[in-house]
Protein backbone atom coordinates (compact mmCIF):
# COMPACT_ATOMS: atom_id res chain seq x y z
CA UNK A 1 0.00 0.00 0.00
CA UNK A 2 1.16 3.54 -0.83
CA UNK A 3 0.43 6.48 1.45
CA UNK A 4 0.02 10.21 0.83
CA UNK A 5 0.66 12.61 3.69
CA UNK A 6 -1.59 15.56 4.58
CA UNK A 7 -0.68 18.35 7.01
CA UNK A 8 -3.92 19.50 8.63
CA UNK A 9 -5.73 21.21 11.49
CA UNK A 10 -9.35 20.32 10.60
CA UNK A 11 -10.75 23.20 12.62
CA UNK A 12 -13.33 21.85 11.87
CA UNK A 13 -13.27 19.25 9.06
CA UNK A 14 -15.35 20.78 6.23
CA UNK A 15 -16.22 20.07 2.61
CA UNK A 16 -13.00 21.65 1.38
CA UNK A 17 -11.04 19.17 3.49
CA UNK A 18 -13.14 16.31 2.10
CA UNK A 19 -12.27 17.44 -1.44
CA UNK A 20 -8.60 17.74 -0.43
CA UNK A 21 -8.41 14.18 0.96
CA UNK A 22 -10.20 12.68 -2.04
CA UNK A 23 -8.08 14.62 -4.54
CA UNK A 24 -4.86 13.67 -2.71
CA UNK A 25 -5.49 9.96 -3.19
CA UNK A 26 -6.67 10.38 -6.77
CA UNK A 27 -3.83 12.60 -8.01
CA UNK A 28 -1.03 10.70 -6.28
CA UNK A 29 -2.38 7.19 -6.91
CA UNK A 30 -2.05 6.36 -3.21
CA UNK A 31 -4.24 3.96 -1.27
CA UNK A 32 -3.88 5.55 2.16
CA UNK A 33 -4.24 9.14 3.40
CA UNK A 34 -2.18 9.89 6.52
CA UNK A 35 -3.02 13.16 8.29
CA UNK A 36 -0.59 14.76 10.71
CA UNK A 37 -2.93 17.01 12.68
CA UNK A 38 -2.23 19.76 15.20
CA UNK A 39 -3.39 18.93 18.71
CA UNK A 40 -5.44 21.26 20.88
CA UNK A 41 -3.58 24.47 20.00
CA UNK A 42 -2.93 25.47 16.39
CA UNK A 43 -0.30 27.14 14.24
CA UNK A 44 -1.82 30.62 14.58
CA UNK A 45 -1.81 30.33 18.37
CA UNK A 46 -5.54 29.63 18.60
CA UNK A 47 -7.31 26.81 20.42
CA UNK A 48 -9.05 24.31 18.16
CA UNK A 49 -12.82 24.88 18.31
CA UNK A 50 -13.28 21.25 19.49
CA UNK A 51 -10.87 18.62 20.78
CA UNK A 52 -8.39 16.66 18.70
CA UNK A 53 -10.41 13.48 19.40
CA UNK A 54 -13.58 14.99 17.93
CA UNK A 55 -11.64 16.23 14.88
CA UNK A 56 -10.05 12.79 14.46
CA UNK A 57 -13.51 11.20 14.35
CA UNK A 58 -14.59 13.67 11.65
CA UNK A 59 -11.54 12.84 9.53
CA UNK A 60 -11.82 9.05 9.81
CA UNK A 61 -15.44 9.16 8.64
CA UNK A 62 -14.51 11.27 5.61
CA UNK A 63 -11.70 9.47 3.81
CA UNK A 64 -8.63 9.87 6.05
CA UNK A 65 -7.11 6.52 7.06
CA UNK A 66 -4.58 7.44 9.75
CA UNK A 67 -4.48 10.48 12.05
CA UNK A 68 -1.36 11.25 14.07
CA UNK A 69 -0.77 14.25 16.31
CA UNK A 70 1.61 17.06 15.45
CA UNK A 71 3.22 17.76 18.84
CA UNK A 72 2.81 21.18 20.46
CA UNK A 73 6.56 21.50 19.95
CA UNK A 74 5.90 21.98 16.21
CA UNK A 75 2.22 22.89 16.05
CA UNK A 76 2.36 26.34 17.73
CA UNK A 77 5.23 27.63 15.62
CA UNK A 78 6.17 29.73 12.62
CA UNK A 79 5.76 28.07 9.23
CA UNK A 80 9.33 26.78 8.91
CA UNK A 81 9.28 24.77 12.17
CA UNK A 82 5.63 23.73 11.69
CA UNK A 83 6.51 22.28 8.28
CA UNK A 84 9.73 20.64 9.44
CA UNK A 85 8.00 18.69 12.20
CA UNK A 86 5.05 17.72 10.02
CA UNK A 87 7.11 16.45 7.10
CA UNK A 88 9.47 14.59 9.45
CA UNK A 89 6.54 12.65 10.95
CA UNK A 90 5.03 11.79 7.56
CA UNK A 91 8.40 10.57 6.36
CA UNK A 92 8.77 8.33 9.40
CA UNK A 93 5.45 6.71 8.52
CA UNK A 94 6.69 5.94 5.02
CA UNK A 95 4.54 8.39 3.04
CA UNK A 96 5.62 8.39 -0.59
CA UNK A 97 3.83 11.64 -1.39
CA UNK A 98 2.90 14.90 0.31
CA UNK A 99 -0.21 16.70 -0.90
CA UNK A 100 -1.14 20.26 0.03
CA UNK A 101 -3.49 23.00 -1.08
CA UNK A 102 -2.04 26.30 -2.21
CA UNK A 103 -3.07 29.55 -3.81
CA UNK A 104 -0.75 28.84 -6.76
CA UNK A 105 -1.84 25.27 -7.51
CA UNK A 106 1.24 24.21 -9.55
CA UNK A 107 4.14 22.34 -7.89
CA UNK A 108 6.90 23.43 -10.29
CA UNK A 109 7.20 27.03 -8.97
CA UNK A 110 7.57 25.63 -5.43
CA UNK A 111 10.47 23.43 -6.54
CA UNK A 112 12.07 26.23 -8.58
CA UNK A 113 11.73 28.71 -5.72
CA UNK A 114 13.23 26.32 -3.17
CA UNK A 115 16.22 25.70 -5.46
CA UNK A 116 16.74 29.39 -6.23
CA UNK A 117 16.58 30.52 -2.62
CA UNK A 118 18.95 27.73 -1.59
CA UNK A 119 21.43 28.95 -4.21
CA UNK A 120 21.10 32.56 -3.00
CA UNK A 121 20.71 31.87 0.72
CA UNK A 122 23.31 34.40 1.87
CA UNK A 123 21.71 37.19 -0.17
CA UNK A 124 18.28 36.16 1.01
CA UNK A 125 19.27 36.12 4.70
CA UNK A 126 21.02 39.48 4.45
CA UNK A 127 17.96 41.09 2.88
CA UNK A 128 15.76 39.75 5.68
CA UNK A 129 18.12 41.26 8.28
CA UNK A 130 17.98 44.62 6.49
CA UNK A 131 14.19 44.68 6.53
CA UNK A 132 14.02 43.59 10.18
CA UNK A 133 16.30 46.48 11.13
CA UNK A 134 13.83 48.82 9.42
CA UNK A 135 11.11 47.53 11.77
CA UNK A 136 9.34 45.06 9.48
CA UNK A 137 7.80 41.88 10.91
CA UNK A 138 9.57 38.66 9.96
CA UNK A 139 6.89 37.55 7.44
CA UNK A 140 6.96 40.98 5.80
CA UNK A 141 10.77 40.97 5.69
CA UNK A 142 10.79 37.47 4.19
CA UNK A 143 8.21 38.46 1.55
CA UNK A 144 10.36 41.42 0.48
CA UNK A 145 13.46 39.21 0.37
CA UNK A 146 11.60 36.63 -1.71
CA UNK A 147 10.42 39.24 -4.21
CA UNK A 148 13.94 40.67 -4.58
CA UNK A 149 15.23 37.24 -5.65
CA UNK A 150 12.30 35.87 -7.64
CA UNK A 151 12.06 37.45 -11.08
CA UNK A 152 10.60 34.61 -13.12
CA UNK A 153 7.36 35.04 -15.03
CA UNK A 154 5.63 32.30 -13.05
CA UNK A 155 7.04 33.44 -9.71
CA UNK A 156 5.55 32.02 -6.54
CA UNK A 157 3.65 34.59 -4.48
CA UNK A 158 5.08 34.07 -1.01
CA UNK A 159 2.82 36.61 0.63
CA UNK A 160 -0.01 34.03 0.54
CA UNK A 161 -0.38 31.81 3.65
CA UNK A 162 -0.77 28.44 1.94
CA UNK A 163 1.98 29.19 -0.58
CA UNK A 164 4.27 29.98 2.36
CA UNK A 165 3.46 26.70 4.08
CA UNK A 166 3.81 24.78 0.82
CA UNK A 167 7.22 26.32 0.19
CA UNK A 168 8.38 25.16 3.62
CA UNK A 169 6.96 21.66 3.07
CA UNK A 170 9.01 21.42 -0.12
CA UNK A 171 12.19 22.76 1.47
CA UNK A 172 11.75 20.32 4.38
CA UNK A 173 11.54 17.41 1.93
CA UNK A 174 14.62 18.61 0.03
CA UNK A 175 16.75 19.45 3.08
CA UNK A 176 15.90 16.11 4.70
CA UNK A 177 16.53 14.21 1.45
CA UNK A 178 13.23 12.42 2.06
CA UNK A 179 11.95 9.97 -0.59
CA UNK A 180 8.67 11.84 -0.75
CA UNK A 181 7.22 13.56 -3.79
CA UNK A 182 5.33 16.85 -3.24
CA UNK A 183 2.04 17.59 -4.99
CA UNK A 184 -0.25 20.61 -4.76
CA UNK A 185 -3.69 21.65 -5.91
CA UNK A 186 -5.33 25.05 -6.03
CA UNK A 187 -7.59 25.84 -3.09
CA UNK A 188 -11.21 25.85 -4.19
CA UNK A 189 -13.71 28.67 -3.74
CA UNK A 190 -13.14 30.37 -0.40
CA UNK A 191 -9.93 32.14 0.53
CA UNK A 192 -8.11 31.01 3.65
CA UNK A 193 -9.22 33.97 5.78
CA UNK A 194 -12.72 34.55 4.38
CA UNK A 195 -14.70 35.50 7.48
CA UNK A 196 -18.17 35.13 5.96
CA UNK A 197 -20.00 32.15 4.54
CA UNK A 198 -20.63 32.35 0.78
CA UNK A 199 -24.22 33.07 -0.22
CA UNK A 200 -24.00 31.08 -3.46
CA UNK A 201 -24.95 27.42 -3.85
CA UNK A 202 -21.27 26.50 -3.48
CA UNK A 203 -20.92 24.17 -0.48
CA UNK A 204 -17.30 25.06 0.29
CA UNK A 205 -16.44 27.77 2.83
CA UNK A 206 -13.29 28.65 4.75
CA UNK A 207 -12.77 27.20 8.23
CA UNK A 208 -12.55 30.80 9.47
CA UNK A 209 -16.01 31.59 8.12
CA UNK A 210 -17.47 28.36 9.48
CA UNK A 211 -16.08 28.97 12.98
CA UNK A 212 -17.34 32.55 12.96
CA UNK A 213 -20.86 31.41 12.05
CA UNK A 214 -20.77 28.61 14.65
CA UNK A 215 -19.82 31.07 17.39
CA UNK A 216 -21.91 34.08 16.37
CA UNK A 217 -24.95 32.22 14.99
CA UNK A 218 -25.31 28.47 15.46
CA UNK A 219 -24.14 25.16 14.08
CA UNK A 220 -27.18 24.87 11.80
CA UNK A 221 -25.95 27.90 9.82
CA UNK A 222 -22.86 25.91 8.80
CA UNK A 223 -24.20 22.44 8.07
CA UNK A 224 -24.28 22.74 4.27
CA UNK A 225 -20.52 23.41 4.35
CA UNK A 226 -19.76 20.29 6.42
CA UNK A 227 -19.83 16.55 5.75
CA UNK A 228 -22.66 14.95 7.73
CA UNK A 229 -20.15 13.26 10.06
CA UNK A 230 -18.63 16.63 11.00
CA UNK A 231 -22.04 18.06 11.82
CA UNK A 232 -22.80 15.10 14.08
CA UNK A 233 -19.46 15.23 15.90
CA UNK A 234 -19.66 19.00 16.44
CA UNK A 235 -23.19 18.73 17.82
CA UNK A 236 -22.11 15.90 20.13
CA UNK A 237 -19.11 17.87 21.42
CA UNK A 238 -21.22 20.95 22.13
CA UNK A 239 -23.78 18.85 23.98
CA UNK A 240 -21.10 16.97 25.95
CA UNK A 241 -18.90 19.90 26.98
CA UNK A 242 -21.14 22.93 26.57
CA UNK A 243 -18.88 25.21 24.53
CA UNK A 244 -16.81 25.99 21.49
CA UNK A 245 -13.21 26.79 22.42
CA UNK A 246 -12.25 30.35 21.45
CA UNK A 247 -9.42 32.71 22.35
CA UNK A 248 -11.79 34.65 24.61
CA UNK A 249 -12.41 31.41 26.55
CA UNK A 250 -8.83 31.65 27.81
CA UNK A 251 -8.54 35.36 28.57
CA UNK A 252 -9.17 35.08 32.31
CA UNK A 253 -6.56 32.31 32.57
CA UNK A 254 -4.07 34.38 30.59
CA UNK A 255 -4.74 37.38 32.81
CA UNK A 256 -4.27 35.26 35.93
CA UNK A 257 -1.05 33.81 34.53
CA UNK A 258 0.34 37.27 33.79
CA UNK A 259 -0.68 38.45 37.26
CA UNK A 260 1.57 35.85 38.85
CA UNK A 261 4.86 36.50 37.00
CA UNK A 262 7.55 39.16 37.11
CA UNK A 263 9.00 40.79 34.00
CA UNK A 264 12.16 38.72 34.50
CA UNK A 265 10.18 35.47 34.65
CA UNK A 266 8.10 36.46 31.62
CA UNK A 267 11.24 37.18 29.63
CA UNK A 268 12.12 33.48 29.88
CA UNK A 269 8.94 32.42 28.04
CA UNK A 270 9.34 31.27 24.45
CA UNK A 271 8.76 34.06 21.88
CA UNK A 272 8.82 36.88 24.48
CA UNK A 273 11.59 38.96 22.91
CA UNK A 274 13.23 42.38 22.87
CA UNK A 275 11.70 43.84 26.03
CA UNK A 276 8.19 42.81 25.01
CA UNK A 277 7.58 41.54 28.55
CA UNK A 278 7.10 45.12 29.80
CA UNK A 279 4.54 45.91 27.12
CA UNK A 280 2.71 42.67 27.89
CA UNK A 281 2.40 43.41 31.62
CA UNK A 282 1.36 46.99 30.95
CA UNK A 283 -1.26 45.98 28.36
CA UNK A 284 -2.86 43.18 30.39
CA UNK A 285 -3.64 45.59 33.24
CA UNK A 286 -5.73 47.74 30.87
CA UNK A 287 -7.52 44.99 28.94
CA UNK A 288 -10.93 43.53 29.71
CA UNK A 289 -10.98 41.01 26.82
CA UNK A 290 -8.56 39.04 24.67
CA UNK A 291 -9.26 41.23 21.64
CA UNK A 292 -8.64 44.39 23.63
CA UNK A 293 -5.40 42.94 25.00
CA UNK A 294 -4.21 42.09 21.49
CA UNK A 295 -4.98 45.59 20.20
CA UNK A 296 -2.98 47.11 23.05
CA UNK A 297 -0.13 44.68 22.44
CA UNK A 298 0.06 44.91 18.64
CA UNK A 299 2.97 46.74 17.03
CA UNK A 300 4.30 46.97 13.48
CA UNK A 301 7.18 44.75 14.51
CA UNK A 302 5.07 41.75 15.53
CA UNK A 303 2.29 40.11 13.56
CA UNK A 304 -1.04 39.32 15.19
CA UNK A 305 -0.35 35.60 14.70
CA UNK A 306 3.09 35.80 16.32
CA UNK A 307 1.57 37.49 19.37
CA UNK A 308 -1.21 34.89 19.60
CA UNK A 309 1.40 32.12 19.60
CA UNK A 310 3.35 33.95 22.29
CA UNK A 311 0.22 34.23 24.45
CA UNK A 312 -0.36 30.49 24.13
CA UNK A 313 3.22 29.85 25.26
CA UNK A 314 2.55 32.11 28.24
CA UNK A 315 -0.53 30.03 29.09
CA UNK A 316 1.47 26.81 28.91
CA UNK A 317 4.53 28.39 30.63
CA UNK A 318 6.76 27.11 27.83
CA UNK A 319 10.28 28.39 28.44
CA UNK A 320 12.80 29.32 25.76
CA UNK A 321 15.51 27.03 27.08
CA UNK A 322 13.16 24.03 27.09
CA UNK A 323 11.80 24.70 23.61
CA UNK A 324 15.23 25.34 22.11
CA UNK A 325 16.57 22.14 23.64
CA UNK A 326 13.69 20.13 22.13
CA UNK A 327 14.13 21.81 18.74
CA UNK A 328 17.81 20.86 18.62
CA UNK A 329 16.66 17.50 17.30
CA UNK A 330 15.99 17.87 13.59
CA UNK A 331 13.22 15.28 13.56
CA UNK A 332 10.16 14.40 15.66
CA UNK A 333 10.96 12.14 18.67
CA UNK A 334 7.80 9.99 18.55
CA UNK A 335 4.58 9.34 16.65
CA UNK A 336 1.37 9.68 18.64
CA UNK A 337 -1.48 7.79 17.01
CA UNK A 338 -4.92 9.40 17.37
CA UNK A 339 -7.03 7.20 15.11
CA UNK A 340 -7.20 4.79 12.18
CA UNK A 341 -9.56 3.05 9.81
CA UNK A 342 -9.28 -0.67 9.10
CA UNK A 343 -7.23 0.14 6.02
CA UNK A 344 -5.08 2.52 8.03
CA UNK A 345 -4.50 -0.15 10.66
CA UNK A 346 -3.38 -2.61 7.97
CA UNK A 347 -0.92 -0.03 6.61
CA UNK A 348 0.41 0.69 10.09
CA UNK A 349 0.94 -3.02 10.73
CA UNK A 350 3.18 -3.12 7.65
CA UNK A 351 5.26 -0.15 8.83
CA UNK A 352 5.53 -0.83 12.59
CA UNK A 353 8.71 -2.90 12.44
CA UNK A 354 10.62 -0.28 10.45
CA UNK A 355 9.67 2.82 12.48
CA UNK A 356 12.70 4.72 13.73
CA UNK A 357 10.88 6.32 16.68
CA UNK A 358 8.34 5.00 19.23
CA UNK A 359 4.70 4.72 18.19
CA UNK A 360 2.66 6.04 21.12
CA UNK A 361 -0.86 4.71 21.55
CA UNK A 362 -1.09 5.13 25.35
CA UNK A 363 0.45 7.97 27.35
CA UNK A 364 1.21 5.62 30.22
CA UNK A 365 3.53 3.58 27.98
CA UNK A 366 5.97 6.35 26.98
CA UNK A 367 7.53 9.50 28.38
CA UNK A 368 9.38 12.37 26.72
CA UNK A 369 9.70 16.11 27.49
CA UNK A 370 7.89 16.95 24.24
CA UNK A 371 5.02 14.65 25.19
CA UNK A 372 4.89 16.30 28.63
CA UNK A 373 4.33 19.57 26.80
CA UNK A 374 1.45 18.02 24.82
CA UNK A 375 -0.17 16.80 28.06
CA UNK A 376 0.19 20.23 29.67
CA UNK A 377 -1.31 21.91 26.61
CA UNK A 378 -4.30 19.55 26.76
CA UNK A 379 -4.88 20.40 30.43
CA UNK A 380 -4.77 24.11 29.65
CA UNK A 381 -7.18 23.52 26.76
CA UNK A 382 -9.70 21.92 29.13
CA UNK A 383 -9.79 24.86 31.58
CA UNK A 384 -12.92 26.59 30.16
CA UNK A 385 -14.93 23.36 30.48
CA UNK A 386 -17.08 23.35 33.60
CA UNK A 387 -16.64 20.71 36.27
CA UNK A 388 -17.17 17.79 36.51
CA UNK A 389 -16.85 17.55 32.73
CA UNK A 390 -13.39 19.15 32.82
CA UNK A 391 -12.04 16.36 35.03
CA UNK A 392 -13.68 13.82 32.74
CA UNK A 393 -11.99 15.47 29.76
CA UNK A 394 -8.56 15.39 31.44
CA UNK A 395 -8.92 11.74 32.46
CA UNK A 396 -10.05 10.89 28.93
CA UNK A 397 -6.97 12.60 27.48
CA UNK A 398 -4.59 10.57 29.62
CA UNK A 399 -6.39 7.27 29.17
CA UNK A 400 -7.53 7.67 25.56
CA UNK A 401 -6.52 4.91 23.17
CA UNK A 402 -6.48 5.43 19.39
CA UNK A 403 -9.90 5.70 17.77
CA UNK A 404 -10.73 2.82 15.43
CA UNK A 405 -13.23 3.21 12.60
CA UNK A 406 -14.66 0.48 10.38
CA UNK A 407 -15.19 2.23 7.06
CA UNK A 408 -17.07 -0.75 5.62
CA UNK A 409 -19.65 -0.92 8.41
CA UNK A 410 -19.44 2.86 9.01
CA UNK A 411 -19.09 2.52 12.76
CA UNK A 412 -16.51 3.06 15.50
CA UNK A 413 -14.97 0.02 17.19
CA UNK A 414 -14.15 -0.42 20.86
CA UNK A 415 -10.71 -1.66 21.80
pLDDT tops 90 at residue 380: yes
Q: Is 202 annotated as a binding residue?
A: no
Q: Is 20 annotated as a binding residue?
A: yes
91 annotated ligand binder = no
Does the annotation flag 311 for ligand binding?
no
19 annotated as ligand-binding: yes
Model confidence band, residue 160 (pLDDT cutoffs 50, 70, 90): confident
Mean pLDDT of 368-378: 95
Known binder of ligand: residue 8?
A: yes
11 marked among binding-site residues? yes
Average pLDDT over residues 352-377: 92
187 is in an annotated binding site: yes
Distance (Å, rounded) from C-alpha 345 to C-alpha 65?
8
236 is in an annotated binding site: no
The answer to whether the annotation marks 405 as part of a ligand binding site is no
User: According to the annotation, is 63 in a ligand binding site?
Assistant: no
Residue 86: pLDDT band with limits 50, 70, 90 = very high
**What is the mean pLDDT of the segment spanning 131-152?**
76
Q: Is 14 annotated as a binding residue?
A: yes
Per-residue model confidence as pLDDT tens digits over 277-336: 999 999 999 999 999 999 999 988 888 999 999 999 999 999 999 999 999 987 889 999
Is 334 flagged in the annotation as binding? Answer: no
Is residue 105 a known part of a binding site? Answer: no
Each residue of 227-252: pLDDT tens digit?
Answer: 999 999 999 999 999 999 999 999 99
Per-residue model confidence (pLDDT) at position 24? 97
Dist CA 79 CA 304 (whole Å):
14
Q: What percent of the chain has pLDDT over 90?
A: 74
Instruction: Return phi, psi of residue 262, to 5°.
Output: -90, 165
Amino acid sequence: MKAVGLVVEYNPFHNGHLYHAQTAKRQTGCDIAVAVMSGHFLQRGEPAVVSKWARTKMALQSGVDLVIELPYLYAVQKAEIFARGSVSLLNKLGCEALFFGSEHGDIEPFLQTAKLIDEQKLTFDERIKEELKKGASYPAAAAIAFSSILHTENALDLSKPNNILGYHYVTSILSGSYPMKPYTTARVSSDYHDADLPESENHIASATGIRKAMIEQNLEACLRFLPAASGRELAHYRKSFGLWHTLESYFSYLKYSLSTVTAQELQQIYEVEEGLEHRILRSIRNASSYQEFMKLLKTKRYTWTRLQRMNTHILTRTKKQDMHKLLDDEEAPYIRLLGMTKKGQAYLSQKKKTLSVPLVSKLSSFSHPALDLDIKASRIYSLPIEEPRRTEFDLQEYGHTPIRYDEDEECFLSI
